[in-house]
Amino acid sequence: MTTSIETPSARLITKPFLVAVIILGAAAVLAGPVGSWLQFRLEKLQLALIKPLAAMNVDAIYPYRLMDRQMLEPSVVEALGTTEYIHWTLEDTNVAKSDPLRRATLFVTYYTGGRDLVPHVPDECMLGAGYQPAQAHENTNLRLSALIPEHPTVPVRVCTFVRTAIHNRTKMTVVYSFAVNGTFAATRNNVRLLTADPRNTHAYFSKVEVSFPGATREQSVLGAQKLLDTVLPVLLRDHYPDFEKAEQATNEKT
């Protein structure tokens, strides 16, 4: 009668051990292709605007009248990171001249392509302009009748600031939202999540920011609802690219 002697190496070669080896081997083989695929998907392709923001048809945003087109300083444009912007002063011709919502500021920017896109937000930019938060910033949803049913509500961020100068403690409320890859977001983190989605090959976002000098926070939200209900449909129809169409065309090629 012979007796088999189990060596230490034989004791190691168990079924779970073999499964682990197979998984690690497969992971090593796939690491290169998967890494390359993720690298490609993180580097987003550009989507050009249908037409420049500055070419917006002013008649299409009636009852608002364009009062002034502000051109930013080259250093500001460089810091902004895009030449696609409009910074307009508008007048709502349907309200009384004494109404605090009569005069509005519309600031729209557009970015596309690249990777790890980081939007500029008033939460930080206003601090450098001599303001500080007057109260906690708030995320809310606005119901815009012109965008229903595709977008029943649009998320916005409401920020109220006060100037830090001792003799000029004026308050100002800024309301903004981001159009991102055919949808909307209210925060920078949500924009980054949407633009970095590895399932997509393209990426764009556009910040639409409005404010009303002299208006309260509550008045500013009401004014933003009306102005965004007028401006966003024009941007979606005449300026922003068709994200889904671009993605479909790319997928059909691969």
Each of the 254 residues of the chain gets a pLDDT tens digit; together they read 545 555 555 555 667 656 665 666 655 555 454 443 344 457 999 999 999 999 999 999 999 999 999 999 999 999 899 999 999 999 999 999 999 999 999 999 999 998 766 678 888 888 877 888 889 999 999 999 999 999 999 999 999 999 876 666 788 999 999 999 999 999 999 999 999 999 999 999 999 999 999 899 999 999 999 999 999 999 999 999 999 999 998 887 76
Tokens of 159: 């920020």
> 């941007």: which residue's tokens?
235
Write the burial class of residue 224 (CB in 10 Å: 0-12 exposed, 13-18 middle, 19+ buried).
buried
Say if CB 65 and CB 93 are below 8 A apart: yes
How many Å apart are CA 121 and CA 111, to the nearest integer?
Answer: 13
Tokens of 23: 């998984």
Return the pLDDT at 175. Answer: 98
In a 3-state reduction of DSSP, which class is residue 120? coil
Give phi and psi for 220, each to the nearest 5. Answer: -65, -40
Write the burial class of residue 55 (CB in 10 Å: 0-12 exposed, 13-18 middle, 19+ buried).
exposed
Beta bridge partners of 160: 173
